[in-house]
C-alpha cells in the first residue's frame, strides 16, 4: 500500500515553516497517542504515521530529499535494477559527480549517542493504586563504565584518526556499471562515521563506555493511577554510547484485583447482600469502603439491583483534585432452611397479601410435579 504524502498526514502546506510543522505534530500526537486511545487499534497506526511524517519534515536535510525524490529516498526496499545495482544510488552518484551532493555535510561525527529506553513492570494493590505509594524496583541496565567514566578509552589514551577512512568518516567506493565507472561515498564501518577510533579501548567496557549493572530504585506511584498506566522516569534508562546521555525508564503499573471492590473510572463498585426483611422494612447496615467502615441507610421497599452512592468515597483523581464515588449494589438474599416459626410468619404474610405460596418444605416441588404425571 502506498504511503500518504507526509504533508497531507500532518495537514500542513508544502511551504509550511518549522513551527507550523511542530504545532501540527503535537496536536495530532496528542489526539492519536496509544495511551489516550487504548481501545482504538487504528490510533496506534495513525500515531506511527504522524511520527514518521514529523521525523522527515522536521529535519531540513531529510525534508529537502523528500521534496526532491518523495518516498523513493526513504523506502527500505528500493527498486533494484535487473543489471545488479541500485538504480537510486547510481543516479545519485552521477548527480554527485557533476553537481555535488546537496545533502553532504562533510565529515559526519557522532562522538556519542543517547542510550536506549528501558522498561519494567511493577505490581501494586488496589489500595496502593487508589492512594499512591512508593515502590522499590530492581533493575539490570547499562550504566557508564566506572573504569573510563564512559569515555571508552583506557587511562589517558585518546582518540586517533581512523586508519580506514583517514579521519573523514566516509569511504569511497568505486562502482562499475553499464554506464561507466562511478565513485560513491559511504559511512565508514570501522569508526561509524566518527572519523576517529579509540587508541586503547577500556578493558572493562571494551570501548563502549558502558557496562551492565544491577541496581535498586525507589519510585513514587501517584494516587489514582490505573492498571496499564506507564510512568516515565527521565534519564533512568540505559547509558549512552561513549558518554552519551541516558535513555528513559518506563514503568508499567499492574494493579491486582480486590476481593470486594472493582473499579469503573474513578468510582469504586461493590455488592452488599441484605435480607428480605431489611429490603422490605428498610435498615441501617455497615459496609466497607476504601476509608474503612461506613453506615449505609436502606429505604423500605428496596429491590435487588438498586444502587446507593457514597459520595467522594471512591478513587482520588490523578490530578489531585476531588474523588470518585463508591457505588454499592444491593442484592436481596432469599433465606434458606427456615424454621417452623419463620414459615408460619411468612405464610401469614402471604395470606394477608393474598399470595399463592408453597408450604415451605423442600419436597413441595416434588408434590407439584406428581400432580401432572
Cβ–Cβ < 8 Å for 330, 272:
yes
Q: What is the DSSP string of 70-116?
A: GGGGT-SSPPBPTTSSBHHHHHHHHHHHHH--TT--SS---S-BPPP
Please list the residues that pair with 186 across neighbouring strands: 171
CA–CA distance, 46 with 312 (Å, rounded to integer): 38
Q: According to the annotation, is 145 in a ligand binding site?
A: yes
Q: What nine digits make up the cell of 152?
A: 571508552
Q: According to the annotation, is 205 in a ligand binding site?
A: yes
In this structure, are strands 118-124 and 249-255 parallel, antiparallel, or unpaired? Answer: parallel
Q: According to the annotation, is 202 in a ligand binding site?
A: yes
Helices (H) and strands (E) in the chain, counts: 9, 15
Q: Which residues contact 272 (CB under 8 A, 6 or more apart)?
A: 285, 287, 296, 328, 329, 330, 331
Beta carbons within 10 angstroms of residue 328's beta carbon: 23
CA–CA distance, 361 with 341 (Å, rounded to integer): 13
Q: According to the annotation, is 73 in a ligand binding site?
A: no
**If residue 174 lies in a helix (H) or strand (E), which one and from where to where?**
strand 170-177
Among residues 63, 170, 153, 199, the alpha carbon closest in space to that of 109 is found at 170
Among residues 298, 274, 218, the alpha carbon closest in space to that of 251 is found at 218
Q: Would you report the helix, strand and coil content of the chain in percent, each value rounded to 5?
A: 25, 30, 45
3-state secondary structure of 12: coil
Q: According to the annotation, is 148 in a ligand binding site?
A: yes
Instruction: Classify residue 216 as exposed, middle or buried by CB count within 10 Å of its CB (0-12, 13-18, 19+).
Output: exposed
Q: According to the annotation, is 163 in a ligand binding site?
A: no
Would you list which residues are annotated within the binding site?
145, 148, 162, 165, 188, 191, 202, 205
Would you list which residues are annotated within the binding site for Zn(2+)?
145, 148, 162, 165, 188, 191, 202, 205
Amino acid at each position: 500500500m502506498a504511503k500518504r504524502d507526509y504533508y497531507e498526514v500532518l495537514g500542513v502546506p508544502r511551504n509550511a515553516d518549522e513551527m507550523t510543522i511542530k504545532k501540527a505534530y503535537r496536536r495530532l500526537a496528542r489526539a492519536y497517542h496509544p495511551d489516550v486511545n487504548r481501545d482504538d487499534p487504528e490510533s496506534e497506526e495513525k500515531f506511527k504515521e504522524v511520527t514518521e511524517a514529523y521525523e522527515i519534515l522536521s529535519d531540513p536535510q531529510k525534508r529537502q530529499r523528500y521534496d526532491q525524490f518523495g518516498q523513493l529516498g526513504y523506502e527500505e526496499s528500493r527498486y533494484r535494477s535487473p543489471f545488479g545495482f541500485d538504480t537510486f544510488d547510481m543516479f545519485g552518484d552521477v548527480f554527485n559527480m557533476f553537481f555535488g551532493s546537496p545533502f553532504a555535510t562533510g565529515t559526519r561525527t557522532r562522538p556519542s549517542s543517547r542510550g536506549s529506553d528501558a522498561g519494567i513492570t511493577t505490581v501494586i494493590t488496589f489500595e496502593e493504586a487508589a492512594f499512591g505509594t512508593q515502590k522499590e524496583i530492581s533493575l539490570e541496565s547499562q550504566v557508564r563504565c566506572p573504569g573510563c567514566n564512559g569515555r571508552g578509552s583506557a587511562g589517558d589514551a585518546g582518540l586517533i584518526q581512523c586508519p580506514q577512512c583517514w579521519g573523514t568518516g566516509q569511504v569511497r567506493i568505486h562502482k562499475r556499471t553499464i554506464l561507466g565507472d562511478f565513485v560513491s561515498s559511504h559511512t565508514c564501518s570501522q569508526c561509524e562515521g566518527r572519523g576517529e577510533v579509540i587508541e586503547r579501548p577500556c578493558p572493562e567496557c571494551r570501548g563502549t563506555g558502558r557496562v551492565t549493572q544491577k541496581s535498586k530504585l525507589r519510585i513514587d506511584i501517584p494516587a489514582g493511577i490505573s492498571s496499564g498506566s506507564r510512568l516515565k522516569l527521565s534519564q533512568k534508562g540505559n547509558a549512552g554510547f561513549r558518554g552519551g546521555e541516558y535513555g528513559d525508564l518506563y514503568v508499567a503499573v499492574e494493579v491486582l484485583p480486590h476481593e470486594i471492590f472493582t473499579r469503573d473510572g474513578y468510582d469504586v463498585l461493590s455488592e452488599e447482600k441484605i435480607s428480605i426483611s431489611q429490603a422490605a422494612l428498610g435498615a441501617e447496615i455497615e459496609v466497607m469502603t476504601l476509608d474503612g467502615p461506613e453506615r449505609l441507610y436502606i429505604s423500605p421497599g428496596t429491590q435487588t439491583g438498586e444502587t446507593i452512592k457514597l459520595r467522594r468515597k471512591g478513587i482520588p483523581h490523578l490530578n489531585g483534585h476531588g474523588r470518585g464515588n463508591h457505588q454499592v449494589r444491593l442484592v436481596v438474599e432469599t433465606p434458606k432452611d427456615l424454621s417452623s416459626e419463620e414459615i408460619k410468619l411468612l405464610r401469614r404474610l402471604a395470606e394477608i397479601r393474598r399470595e399463592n405460596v408453597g408450604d415451605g418444605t423442600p419436597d413441595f416441588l416434588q408434590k407439584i410435579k406428581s400432580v401432572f404425571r
